[in-house]
Structure 1
Amino acid sequence: MGRDMVLGGRYELAEKLGQGGMGTVHRGVDQRLRRTVAVKVLSSALAHDPQSRARFRREAHAAAALNHPAVATIHDVGEEPHPDGPRPYLVMEYVQGATLAEVLRGGPLSVVDAVNAACAVLDALRHSHECGIVHRDIKPSNIMVTGPETVKVLDFGIAKAFTETATRITGSGAAIGTPAYLSPEQINGAEIDHRADLYAMGCLLHELLTGQTPFRGESPFAIMHQHLFATPEPVSRLRAQIPPAVDAVILRALSKDPKERFDDAAQMRAALAGALAQASLPTVQATASGPPVTRTGGRTALRDKFRISLRPCADSALALLGCLLSLLCARGQLVDTAHFGRVAIAAGVLGLVTLPWSTRLSCAVGWGPVAEAVAVNSELRRAYIGWQHSYVAIAALLALAAACCLVSAARGQRRGAGSWVAFWFSATASIWYVLDDLHKLFVFYLLLSLVAIATVSWETFELVRRRAGTGRQPGKGRSPA
């Protein structure tokens, strides 16, 4: 399936993202809803058997009912005609970030990061198990890291469809999945339940902490033999700083008998969280009293340093509104990405903190996420509807207006809040005209960072210059040189 192919008359394949045993993943564009999606075109193993395709659709529809922040949403499922037989495809939420497999290339994670990632995955598994869905293929490449403590688990339902397809085609309970993470019951072809996912979680956590899976061998059969008969080496022997309580959780999850593992994902998560809390109990220390605040002329030194002025004016009111709107945009999840909410909260808080010092800086950071949220949810964007002369002209004029507003805001001495608001709305609108979905938010994050850094630098320079000018004026008891 080549580039720019359209599946189902709706999903345009824009870029190949990866390929695995179950199919090929593309970044695509939903032309009907104008949003970026991930499209997995499944391998030919499902293409030749109508009952297998029907089973896959049922599993995909069941997985689509999952509704959890750590589960990648399934939007659609379909089949595309092909000379070799219909090709099933799956349309999923497009998730930006790196897989745990990519993160592990840089070495094992810290104990805290590894446990936090495992707890986030267990939250997703608890939700899926409560809905009667077993993942069957938990491994680092199926987990996307979207933030410091947030993940997205991919491919719910697909592994079961492939397992049942292999059983139907080969007539045996052939194990489908990655050998390093298969539970003994999966290898034996026995009936499995949610505890197979908990066994895979033990393998995953072992790898996150040590950089290697608990069982390794020269062939898949050697690895599967160890899953059945070998005793895993405690992770504390491979990495001394791992707490014994975390070691115990992994060993219990890797029990050969499912009955000896944790009862469910919630119990394993609680054990992990308790082990981490037990290992990181802080040492209570007496808090020393700091020196009293020195006051001069009835004002604190900090107040003198930052020349705080809380007198109400139109500019400060506009800056305050921008900061509050930024916080509301983050809470309202107006932009459906992993990072925007945190960026909007950070911008709103920074704007509120800096408002007493500089309304210009407060406006510069506070209104950015607001304008971005409006641009994302408006019709003022190209969004793959095709270039036309009117759109090009509008985008060019908006960019020119943004440049003029930026100059006006920079030239204003103490005011210019209105110029910042106009700059952000015209700049974000022009960004959404010119760039595709993959790059728009990254450009906005870069622009917001540069604007904040430049404004802080300019305000600091102005403050230093004013103080230097004051220092050159005649003082008491001294005469100018």
Structure 2
Amino acid sequence: MTKNSKPWEENWKIIDNISGGGQGQTYLVELKNNSFPANKYVLKKLNKQNDDERRSRMRREVVVLETLNCPGIPKLIDSNVELFKSNTPLYMVTEFIPGDTLYDFLKTEVINIFTGVSLTIKLLDTLKYCHKIGIVHRDIKPDNIIIKNNDISTPVLIDFGISFNKVDESATDLTPTWQQLGNRFFQLPELGEKSSLQRDHRSDITKICGILFFTITGKFPLYLLDSENGNKPHQREEAKQKLSASPNLPESIVSKINRVFDKAFEIKIDSRWQSIPALMDALIDIFELENSEGNKAETFLEKIKNKLSSDSNIEKKLFRKLAEKVIEQISQAVRSLVYEDLDSNYFHVCARGASERLGIIDWANLKFSQQVTGISCEFSNEDFFPEFQGFATGNEFVLVSSIKGKEVELLRTSLSGEPDFTDFAQCLRKFYAEGVESIISK
């Protein structure tokens, strides 16, 4: 480190500790001189100042905040991130937003559904501004929303530490796609490891719907589908009870909210809300209470639509159907290799029973892990019996396995499409041939 191990002390005096996390510590500070307007501010410094990735991440956060000028986002005041390639400790100072986080606010305040919808619309306004200039937040959660002056009508979005800016698309220091993104509030498949959709703006829209769900139910959505029954967040018993227990809430409003969540919590990102204006229109429509007799038929139809949508679980069916096809193709490819290319007097097919193939599917993340078919050799003490992992990521199905300790991606295809099984079969034959070579060469 440089001689000045606390460069922020030149202008800023720490007066209180605000919070700490994995990335850094934040403090309430005040100015030592007249270089900025007299006020309270927030100082953020890194926990691991020698970590190059975290230093680059802080620099990107500052670059994003320099770009933004919106009432729903704190203003950047000061930083030294231009020194991110040196060994000088980095810091940044932003406008101080008085008030609780949304998470803490809801511990002591009870808000009705319409207030929750209004809050969500205001957050969407802020998000629309960000997306318009090419910035995807990627870490929306109750702890990253401050209720300014504890007035629920003035939410402020904070912490752009893992945000993505399209002007940085070619940068080499962005968070690698093999890293998991997300938080314990709401994990989305497209933010998982190996996903090619980690920078998709539609994930932000989904997470804002998760915020609405949280304000209404007090529960974290956690996953798009639970591991027990494959239910979406609003289909889980506690959430359903919370909605049904809302006093004086017309069934038509509950139905409309459920319809918003039906679409918001689809597994395939292409099936969710695709734009902020479309979602805002649906939310604004919730305010239109249907009290007249003439609307009873419409209410009844809404309930039927909601029931059909809730019970369909289309994503599960698509995933299972594709997984079964893929596993059958693996078995066929191995048999073809043994009986057509290898000498079946010395090489044999090892297969699991059909009922064992998929094993237990993790519906929360739509994935399976299973050994399907292997090859044994008369003059080797080992079999080549690889384990395959199949999983959904956004709107894609991915299949991977490993050979000689190296992971190999064997298939990436649309979750709702039909793979090119000819290319897939050739890929599998090559994979198994290399696997057999690895055991007989020992």
With the length of structure 2 as denominator, give the TM-score of the two structures: 0.53
Per the TM alignment, residue 156 of structure 1 is displaced from its structure 2 partner at its CA by 2.3
Structure 1 residues 268-302: Cα deviation after superposition (integer angstroms, max 9, x where no partner): 22211211x2237799xxxxxxxxxxxxxxxxxxx
Distance (whole Å) between structure 2 residues aligned to residue 181 and residue 48 of structure 1: 27
2:122 counterpart residue number: 120
Question: Structure 2, unaligned stretches of length 5 or more?
Answer: 1-5, 294-442
1:318 counterpart residue number: none
1:453 counterpart residue number: none
Structure 1 residues 349-385: Cα deviation after superposition (integer angstroms, max 9, x where no partner): xxxxxxxxxxxxxxxxxxxxxxxxxxxxxxxxxxxxx
Matched, 1:205 2:212: yes
Distance (whole Å) between structure 1 residues aligned to residue 75 and residue 228 of structure 2: 32
Q: 1:54 to 1:80 in 2, by over 3 A?
A: closer
Per the TM alignment, residue 148 of structure 1 is displaced from its structure 2 partner at its CA by 3.6
Secondary structure at 1:28 match in 2: strand
Matched, 1:149 2:153: yes
Q: Which moved more, 1:187-196 or 1:254-263?
A: 187-196
Per the TM alignment, residue 226 of structure 1 is displaced from its structure 2 partner at its CA by 4.9
Distance (whole Å) between structure 1 residues aligned to residue 265 and residue 127 of structure 2: 17
1:101 counterpart residue number: 103
Matched, 1:184 2:189: yes
Secondary structure at 1:38 match in 2: strand
Q: 1:226 to 1:77 in 2, by over 3 A?
A: farther
Q: 1:169 to 1:137 in 2, by over 3 A?
A: closer
Per the TM alignment, residue 63 of structure 1 is displaced from its structure 2 partner at its CA by 2.8
2:280 counterpart residue number: 269
* Amino acid paired to 1:73: K
Per the TM alignment, residue 125 of structure 1 is displaced from its structure 2 partner at its CA by 0.6
Contact kept in structure 2, 1:28 and 1:39, CA below 8 Å: yes
Q: 1:251 to 1:81 in 2, by over 3 A?
A: same
- Which of 195, 198, 204 is the equivalent residue of 2:202? 195
2:26 counterpart residue number: 25
Secondary structure at 1:69 match in 2: coil
Distance (whole Å) between structure 2 residues aligned to residue 224 and residue 174 of structure 1: 22
* Amino acid paired to 2:289: A
Distance (whole Å) between structure 1 residues aligned to residue 288 and residue 9 of structure 2: 53
Distance (whole Å) between structure 1 residues aligned to residue 181 and residue 60 of structure 2: 19
Contact kept in structure 1, 2:64 and 2:160, CA below 8 Å: no
Per the TM alignment, residue 99 of structure 1 is displaced from its structure 2 partner at its CA by 0.8
Secondary structure at 1:25 match in 2: strand
2:288 counterpart residue number: 278
Q: 1:139 to 1:170 in 2, by over 3 A?
A: closer
Q: Which moved more, 1:241-250 or 1:72-81?
A: 72-81
* Amino acid paired to 1:15: D
Per the TM alignment, residue 102 of structure 1 is displaced from its structure 2 partner at its CA by 0.4
Distance (whole Å) between structure 1 residues aligned to residue 57 and residue 175 of structure 2: 16
* Amino acid paired to 1:269: M
Distance (whole Å) between structure 1 residues aligned to residue 204 and residue 127 of structure 2: 8
- Which of 242, 248, 266 is the equivalent residue of 1:255? 266
1:244 counterpart residue number: 255
Distance (whole Å) between structure 1 residues aligned to residue 88 and residue 289 of structure 2: 54
Q: 1:80 to 1:112 in 2, by over 3 A?
A: same
Over aligned residue pairs, what C-alpha RMSD do you find?
3.5
Structure 1 residues 164-195: Cα deviation after superposition (integer angstroms, max 9, x where no partner): 9xx97997622233133222100244223111
Contact kept in structure 2, 1:64 and 1:75, CA below 8 Å: no
Contact kept in structure 1, 2:138 and 2:163, CA below 8 Å: yes
* Amino acid paired to 1:122: L
Per the TM alignment, residue 109 of structure 1 is displaced from its structure 2 partner at its CA by 2.8
With the length of structure 1 as denominator, give the TM-score of the two structures: 0.49
Structure 1 residues 3-40: Cα deviation after superposition (integer angstroms, max 9, x where no partner): xx760621222211112222211111233213321111
**Which of the pair has more CA radius of gyration?**
1
Contact kept in structure 2, 1:205 and 1:250, CA below 8 Å: no
Distance (whole Å) between structure 2 residues aligned to residue 177 and residue 42 of structure 1: 20
- Which of 37, 41, 46 is the equivalent residue of 1:37? 41
Distance (whole Å) between structure 1 residues aligned to residue 11 and residue 259 of structure 2: 50
Distance (whole Å) between structure 1 residues aligned to residue 240 and residue 268 of structure 2: 23
Per the TM alignment, residue 53 of structure 1 is displaced from its structure 2 partner at its CA by 2.6
Distance (whole Å) between structure 2 residues aligned to residue 228 and residue 79 of structure 1: 47
Secondary structure at 1:7 match in 2: helix
Matched, 1:12 2:17: no
Per the TM alignment, residue 43 of structure 1 is displaced from its structure 2 partner at its CA by 2.6
Contact kept in structure 1, 2:14 and 2:27, CA below 8 Å: yes
Per the TM alignment, residue 133 of structure 1 is displaced from its structure 2 partner at its CA by 0.6
Secondary structure at 2:282 match in 1: helix
Distance (whole Å) between structure 2 residues aligned to residue 13 and residue 263 of structure 1: 43
Contact kept in structure 2, 1:100 and 1:141, CA below 8 Å: yes
Contact kept in structure 2, 1:121 and 1:151, CA below 8 Å: yes
Per the TM alignment, residue 119 of structure 1 is displaced from its structure 2 partner at its CA by 1.2
Structure 1 residues 43-97: Cα deviation after superposition (integer angstroms, max 9, x where no partner): 31x6321x65345323421232111111122223325999x95433221110011
Contact kept in structure 2, 1:80 and 1:87, CA below 8 Å: no
Per the TM alignment, residue 135 of structure 1 is displaced from its structure 2 partner at its CA by 0.6
Distance (whole Å) between structure 1 residues aligned to residue 173 and residue 226 of structure 2: 24
Contact kept in structure 2, 1:18 and 1:26, CA below 8 Å: yes
Instruction: Trace 1:37-436 onto structure 2 (pairs within 5 A).
Output: 37-44=41-48, 47-49=50-52, 53-54=55-56, 56-78=58-80, 86-106=88-108, 109-146=111-148, 147-160=151-164, 173-190=178-195, 191=197, 192-215=199-222, 226=227, 231-234=232-235, 235-240=239-244, 241=246, 243-275=254-286, 277-279=287-289
Q: Which moved more, 1:243-252 or 1:93-102?
A: 243-252
Secondary structure at 2:281 match in 1: helix
Distance (whole Å) between structure 1 residues aligned to residue 92 and residue 292 of structure 2: 47
Distance (whole Å) between structure 2 residues aligned to residue 159 and residue 92 of structure 1: 17
Per the TM alignment, residue 154 of structure 1 is displaced from its structure 2 partner at its CA by 0.5
Q: 1:55 to 1:139 in 2, by over 3 A?
A: closer
Contact kept in structure 2, 1:232 and 1:251, CA below 8 Å: no
Identical pairs, percent: 24
